[in-house]
């Protein structure tokens, strides 16, 4: 249940909603809407698999993602306006490693240390949604 609501929170942060969302549904399926016209749904498919679909009213963009956690690694796949992206996040003890390809086809990677911060070897903003 915590991961379900964490998924809701993460997608809320990703699309940058400033308005408060109203959500309806059950523990396994939520549909949310805000006063700006944005909408998204969150579905807990099985175990640690979460599917999120959304619409951004400001840009007209549609997007979706599927998140699956196996051990210390989280796999994310999705699309923005039909363009696919992927990301893998590995928790390595005092470090986190992210690697993937955004919806514009740009690859990225980032190594973050709990104490020292992050080091990236890409020029794009670290976002699976692209620019």
> What Rg, from alpha-carbon coordinates, does the chain have?
15
- What's the pLDDT score for residue 123? 40
- Give the model confidence (pLDDT) of 90-124 as tens digits: 999 889 999 999 989 999 999 999 888 887 664 44
User: Is the model's pTM score more than 0.85?
Assistant: no
Phi/psi at 116 (nearest 5 deg)? -100, -10
* Alpha-carbon gap, residue 86 to 75, rounded angstroms: 8
The more confidently predicted of residues 16 and 27 is 27
Letter string b/e over residues 84-123, b meaning 16 or more CB atoms within 10 A of that residue's CB: ebebebeeeeeebebbbebbeebebebbbeeeeeeeeeee
Mark 18-49 as b/e (b = at least 16 C-beta within 10 Å). eeebeeeeeeeebebbbeeebbbbbbbeeeee
More confident site: 66 or 27:
66
Position with higher pLDDT, 15 vs 63: 63
Average pLDDT for the chain = 82
């Amino acid at each position: 249940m915590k991961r379900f609501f964490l998924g809701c929170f993460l997608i809320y942060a990703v699309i940058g909603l400033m308005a408060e969302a109203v959500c309806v549904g059950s523990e396994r399926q939520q549909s949310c809407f805000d006063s700006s016209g944005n909408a998204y749904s969150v579905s807990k498919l099985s175990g640690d698999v979460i599917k999120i679909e959304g619409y951004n009213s400001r840009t007209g963009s549609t997007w979706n993602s599927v998140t699956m956690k196996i051990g210390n690694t989280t796999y994310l796949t999705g699309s923005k306006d039909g363009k696919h992206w992927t990301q893998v996040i590995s928790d390595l003890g005092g470090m986190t490693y992210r690697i993937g390809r955004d919806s514009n086809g740009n690859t990225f990677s980032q190594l973050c240390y709990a104490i020292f911060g992050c080091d990236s070897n890409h020029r794009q903003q670290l976002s699976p949604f692209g620019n």
